[in-house]
Structure 1
Amino acid sequence: MSLTESWDRYAAGSKPRRTVNAKGDKTWLNWTQYADHGPDEGVLGPVAGRRVLELGSGSGSNLAHLVTLGATGHGVDIAPAREAVALERWGNLPGIAFHTGEATAFLSETDETFDVVLSIFGAVWFVDPDTLLPLIRSRMAPGGILAFSHVPPGSQGPKPAEAGLRHDRTPDEWGRSLTGHGFSDVCVSLIDPPEGRAVGTMLVRALVADPVAE
């Protein structure tokens, strides 16, 4: 079974996101694996007028929220089923586009540049960082922000059994990887789980390094 087929099968068995959250919002951004938990889009700073790329965009709900705040959004996911679901739910939003493809292939082929790149339990967790991070950096505009989340190293987290190894790294390891590939101001936060849950979330944020300083 190919990687695409594995992820497509995983997508087919995934529950769709609720249409309304606990606050009554129809769109929202969630960095963690738990509903109504953790920080929101404030991690990214103001997004209005910014070009956003989500790697591993799933059903498109996180990206759609940023677009409703004034961003232009591109979502990439390896599973064809994800694009179909995202288009059905969010395709009517102006300024949003979804693509089926592997993250490194998309980054290698696109001519677009992005102000914000995010990955929530997505490609940054599953693709070799030494391959992916330089490609992300090459498509980011000066002053851009990269942010991603996954469970801390050694924790259990969602993944298709056939999809290969996750790239679990400690905060120090992510810091070295990111700075080594042209990012700066790396900030790693460990978000505690809600009461009754054992596994937290690691949230990483970094800026594009000043070209003058490289």
Structure 2
Amino acid sequence: MPREPRTPAQYWDTYKPYRGEGEQPAPVADRFEWTQYPGHGPGAEVLGQPCRALDLGPAEGKEAVFLARQGVETTGVDFSAAQVERARRWWKDVPGLSFLHADVCDYLASSTAPYDAIYSVWGAAWFTDPEILFPLLAESLTPGGVFAFSQAEPSPGAYGPQPMRGKWLEGRERELTVLRWQYPPETWADLLKRHGFTGIEAHVLPAPDAEGLGTLLVRAQRAST
């Protein structure tokens, strides 16, 4: 029985609306980016050398495209039908790449083939209760498989599920609110350890300029045995 989603799909259907003319062009997908600053920080090497990878909340799908072009069989799962339709349209000719419309927890609970790497770049891992998500991830990874995610660095003292309001979304009569989970790096490490992960690395990668927002980057592995 699918769980009741915490995040309105409409929020993501209208996220980052295209303001140009004509058909929205596909973005460049020539690097795996964990931060919002192009060329800043590590790239796909964080994931090791996976054969199969799963992207949680890929939106435009740039990171999934990059991996697929490197020969990694990559699946992107997104809660927004609009985001999935756009990604499929843009990247339909990329071999080894697929985009599915589903809630990530529902998908993980029903999937039987394990992945070598599961990741989220400012994506669904940010907006999903880790107490629900992390056990599902541990079951969905191969032994020694990598889980990694990035999101904005947490605001001091604003920890746990925090509301993010989308009143700015155009054409909406009411404000849409989503929850995003924020913790300092050490808390993420403790959560992952409690759910059976090892080799945990969690830190904030500073912005390239002193005024910018840093990026929380977390990497862990499923135990090998």
Report the TM-score range of the alignment, normalised by the length of the smaller protein: 0.7 to 0.9
Counterpart of 2:37, as a letter, is Y
Equivalence for 1:32 = 35
Per-residue CA shift, 1:45-70, capped at 9, x if unaligned? 223xx110000111111011011111
CA distance in 2, matches of 1:132, 1:79: 18
The alignment's TM-score, normalised by the length of structure 1, stands at 0.86
Counterpart of 2:33, as a letter, is N
Over aligned residue pairs, what C-alpha RMSD do you find?
2.5
The Cα of 1:143 is off from its aligned counterpart by: 1.1
Give aligned-pair identity as a percent.
32
Instruction: Identify the structure with the greater strand proportion.
Output: 2
Query: Do the aligned residues in 2 keep the contact of 1:10 with 1:160 (CA within 8 Å)?
Result: no
Equivalence for 2:12 = 7
| Matched residue SS, 1:111 | coil
Per-residue CA shift, 1:83-119, capped at 9, x if unaligned? 1121112121111110111111111122221000000
CA distance in 1, matches of 2:141, 2:177: 27
Say if 1:39 and 1:160 are closer, same or farther in 2 by CA, change over 3 A: farther
Say if 1:112 and 1:14 are closer, same or farther in 2 by CA, change over 3 A: farther
Equivalence for 1:187 = 201
Counterpart of 1:3, as a letter, is P
Instruction: Identify the structure with the greater helix proportion.
Output: 1
CA distance in 1, matches of 2:121, 2:10: 21
The Cα of 1:39 is off from its aligned counterpart by: 1.2
CA distance in 1, matches of 2:135, 2:72: 24
Query: Do the aligned residues in 1 keep the contact of 2:126 with 2:181 (CA within 8 Å)?
Result: yes
Say if 1:175 and 1:150 are closer, same or farther in 2 by CA, change over 3 A: same
CA distance in 2, matches of 1:142, 1:123: 23
CA distance in 1, matches of 2:111, 2:19: 29
Counterpart of 2:46, as a letter, is V
Equivalence for 2:180 = 166
- Structure 1: 5+ residue stretches without partners: 21-25
